[in-house]
Amino acid sequence: MIRLFKFSEMKPEDVFARTDIGKKVDAAVSEIIREVRKHGDAALYAYTEAFDRVKLESLVVTPEEIEEARSLVEPEFLAILEHSAANIRLFHEKQVRTGFILNEGEGTVLGQKITPVDRAGLYVPGGTAAYPSTVLMDAIPAKIAGVRDVVMTTPPGRDGKINPAILAAASVAGVDRIFKIGGAQAIAALAYGTETVPRVDKIVGPGNAYVAEAKKQVYGQVSIDMIAGPSEILIVADSASNPAVLAADLLSQAEHDKMASAVLVTDSLTLAEAVRDELEKQIPLLERAEIARASIDQNGKIIVADDLISAIDIANEIAPEHLELSVEHPFDYLDRIRHAGSVFLGKNCPEALGDYFAGPNHTLPTGGTARFSSPLSVDDFVKKTQFIYYSAAALDKAADDVAAFARKEGLTGHAKSALVRREVTE
């Protein structure tokens, strides 16, 4: 049963405790990365046979396999994929930024240009559930950013094939190449390249603890989006909220993973108790009841705050991945939200809208990192380059100040470089 607390009686560790991934995986991941770097494709085949229980003849997903997958997916679901992709494109196209030029006169031109990375790698999980939504959320911003080569890896099933819905989503999103590789070995292949898998510039996408650790270890060789932890939802609810709806929304994240976190913060003890009872009714009805039960019992909590403002303050301290504001007039509170990955406003906005359909990205900061990081966006697939131009007259005007600054830092070579053009032209 979910734990219920009065905030005034809680210890800080009760409020802000984070889910422990529970495994020391760094050494195992380091070994996998070393093997992939040393043996390339051979290591990928060996790890796929060992971990995915399938002996592949090729790591590459062919165009014929993609077409077969599209034929196996229901036309109704293909239409939903297309509709969702259109919503995602509409939202992310607003994120496109352009460079700028500052022409200050007197012979100086300053500016910044925006350039997409050449190649992006998308990791799409397999395992207990397949996530075609992740394909759309990761690939579409990359394509909008102008990435020339979008490469995807995802683990095969024991039949050697990829879930048809994932391949259909990749087709809709415009993924350029797909490889049958999962786990830390996929991250290593994307980071360093093999005979078959190209080296990428940025790796994005969620995964298990091994994938997260691999992304951490290859960072610096490539860029990454974030180190994603278990899924989180926090709901701030007023006393007029429906307990059955709140319980269902909490369980929408609890069913992801036994380590997922579902938290309700409310100003009503009556509502808190009703939601606790409703969770007990709904959990046995879920197909993933065992997972949801473990998540709710181990990591779930209901916190009763003094008022809604205090509830929002608690939410800001926790900085959740998903934050639902189940209150009347939710826009009145939006400016008070400072730390959350994505905010769902009002009583008709379940978190599942963001997962699949609305358009904003569902790859979000977890583990309190919303205090300083952002959802996946077009910005993740571009880089900024500055440029500076000075005419001879403009440099001559600035040179003495530059040289004085350099000498202050003890860098006389810098000072010399600012002044030398005068000497060679005299």
363 vs 321: CA distance, rounded Å: 9
Q: Distance (Å, rounded) from C-alpha 316 to C-alpha 15?
A: 12
| Number of other CB atoms surrounding residue 268 within 10 Å | 18
Q: Which residues lie closer than 8 Å to 253 by C-beta, 6 or more apart?
A: 231, 232, 233, 260, 261, 262, 295, 322, 351
Dihedrals phi, psi of 233, to nearest 5 degrees: -140, 140
- Catalytic-role residue among 92, 213, 232, 322: 322
Compute CA 336 distance to the chain's CA centroid, rounded to the nearest angstrom: 24
- How many angstroms separate the CA atoms of 322 and 204, rounded? 19
What distance in Å separates the CA atoms of residue 287 and residue 96, rounded to the nearest whole number?
40
Active-site entry in 65, 278, 321, 351? 321
Nearest residue to 252 (alpha-carbon basis) of 341, 322, 343, 318 = 322
How far is the CA of 58 from the CAs of 42, 150, 189, 192, 197, in angstroms? 11, 19, 15, 19, 11
Beta bridge partners of 204: 122
C-alpha neighbours within 13 Å on the C-beta side of residue 97: 14
Beta-strand pair 301-304/342-345: unpaired
- Residue 260 host element (H or E): none
Nearest-CA neighbor of 407 among 417, 396, 392? 417
Q: 108-116 and 100-105 as β-strands: parallel, antiparallel, unpaired? A: antiparallel
- In the residue annotation, 92 being an active-site residue is answered as no
Burial code (b: 16+ CB inside 10 Å, e: under 16) for 355-369 equals bbebbbbbbbbbbbb
DSSP annotation of 227:
-
Known catalytic residues?
Answer: 321-322
